[in-house]
Amino acid sequence: MKSEPFSLYIHIPYCISKCPYCDFNSHVVAQIPEDGYTDALLRELELYGGKDGWRGRTLQSIFFGGGTPSTFKPASIGKLLAWAAATFPIANDCEITMEANPGTVDAAYFPGYRDAGVNRISVGVQSFQPKLLKFLGRVHSAEEAKTALNIVKQSGFDNFSFDLIFANPGQSLADLDADLDSALEFQPPHLSAYNLTFEEGTPFHHEYRAGRMANLDEDTEIAMAELIDAKLGAAGLKRYEISNYARPWFHSLHNVNYWHSGDYLGLGAGAHSYRREADGVAGLRWNNEKSPAKYMAQVAATQQAEVEREIIDAHKAAAEFMFLGLRMTEGIRVETFRQRFGQTPREFYPQIDGWIDGELLIEQARFLRFTAKGLMLANSIFVHFM
């Protein structure tokens, strides 16, 4: 029986409006079926609590993602956390994160989330500038974003994070500089900075395909990435993953588990799960029905909502280990790779030597990691593993 700790992801798929760049499994409905959806999550949780491969294992992190989890009342979040604690042992230092959207931050809810056991909040700010918020189709204003962050802090959450989106068409370096200044006023222990991408199926992608929206030029994007790194670094927020920055001890444990190819159980509409087999090499990934209504119906009928599964053989597991682990600035531990896959990364992927010669990767102190130059080109290297 497996005994290592694992992470739990709970997907709350509802939003009050759909942002035009978003390709997450998020839905706008006239009335959010909070009770029915919570019941379905509880039933799914109960099922996995009794299943081989999960039963008796300790929870090291729980993450409520979305969609917009802050559309749910503290009572529902509390019910789910109480049920999780009744189903699995919970580590004393279990990180319990909830995503919140400034447009839905109800001051009265946040002490309730904290009392329910949530100990980390991640706020989808994206920008503090009205013109960029408008462009991104966000429902909240810059003032509401600031109010939300103040509410989070005043509710006693010392561990919080927020997202910024940069490289928006028309955004200047000065715009980004102003956003970073506003961000740092809140002294966040963790911050994520994502560059805007045009994901297939979104209205932004449609505009992009039609030639009405374009990426910023490469030089400006690089200058923006350098500005973020320099400014956040000077404020004590060290880059530890391609898009994530943290003060010491404030890394997102939940996401680090993904980047270390650790096991996670995903509950809710469209949620993905991953579990390594007992040999520690190959694994299994599966995902749930995406439509919230169908998800609830399927769970009501069978207690689970799995619609697809994929066997991750040793070759694919090695590739995932590489491209997930290399996202982290510390890189991958060469010995961990060798123990798991029987060869060192350089033996498994001879092309690594070329990237080392080209100063994109470096092997140092038993870790293989990107150089600063390599991080800028990470995506073009990741495709070689896939």
Question: Which residues of the shown chain bind ligand SF4 in the complex (CB under 6 A)?
Answer: 15, 18-19, 22, 24, 26, 66-68, 101, 124
CB-based contact 9:267 (threshold 8 Å): yes
Question: Least CB distance from residue 364 to ligand SF4, whole Å?
Answer: 37
**CB nearer to ligand SF4: pick between 201 and 211:** 201
**CB nearer to ligand SF4: pick between 120 and 276:** 120
Structure letter (DSSP) for residue 215: P
Question: Least CB distance from residue 165 to ligand SF4, whole Å?
Answer: 9
Residue number, nearest CB to ligand SF4: 22
Using alpha carbons, select from 307, 267, 280 the residue that is nearest to residue 62: 267
| CB-based contacts of 349, cutoff 8 Å, min separation 6 | 322, 384, 385
Question: Least CB distance from residue 162 to ligand SF4, whole Å?
Answer: 12
**CB nearer to ligand SF4: pick between 179 and 263:** 179
Question: Least CB distance from residue 14 to ligand SF4, whole Å?
Answer: 8
**CB nearer to ligand SF4: pick between 11 and 57:** 11
In a 3-state reduction of DSSP, which class is residue 56? coil
Question: Least CB distance from residue 97 to ligand SF4, whole Å?
Answer: 15
In a 3-state reduction of DSSP, which class is residue 360? coil
Residue that the structure tokens 């010669």 belong to: 357
**CB nearer to ligand SF4: pick between 24 and 348:** 24
CB-based contact 311:281 (threshold 8 Å): no
Question: Least CB distance from residue 202 to ligand SF4, whole Å?
Answer: 9
Q: What is the C-alpha to C-alpha distance for residues 244 and 148, in angstroms, rounded to an integer? A: 21
Using alpha carbons, select from 174, 60, 194, 177 the residue that is nearest to residue 122: 194
How, if at all, do strands 6-12 and 59-66 pair? parallel
**CB nearer to ligand SF4: pick between 204 and 349:** 204
CB-based contact 207:214 (threshold 8 Å): no
Number of H helices, E strands in the chain: 16, 15
Using alpha carbons, select from 8, 27, 7 the residue that is nearest to residue 16: 27
Question: Least CB distance from residue 292 to ligand SF4, whole Å?
Answer: 13
Question: Least CB distance from residue 17 to ligand SF4, whole Å?
Answer: 7
Question: Least CB distance from residue 57 to ligand SF4, whole Å?
Answer: 29
**CB nearer to ligand SF4: pick between 5 and 203:** 203
**CB nearer to ligand SF4: pick between 171 and 261:** 171
Percentages helix, strand, coil for the chain, rounded to the nearest 5? 40, 25, 35
Q: What is the C-alpha to C-alpha distance for residues 299 and 293, in angstroms, rounded to an integer? A: 10
**CB nearer to ligand SF4: pick between 160 and 323:** 160
> What does each C-alpha distance from 184 to 155, 228, 378 come to in angstroms?
19, 11, 27
The pair of structure tokens assigned to 109 is 């809810």
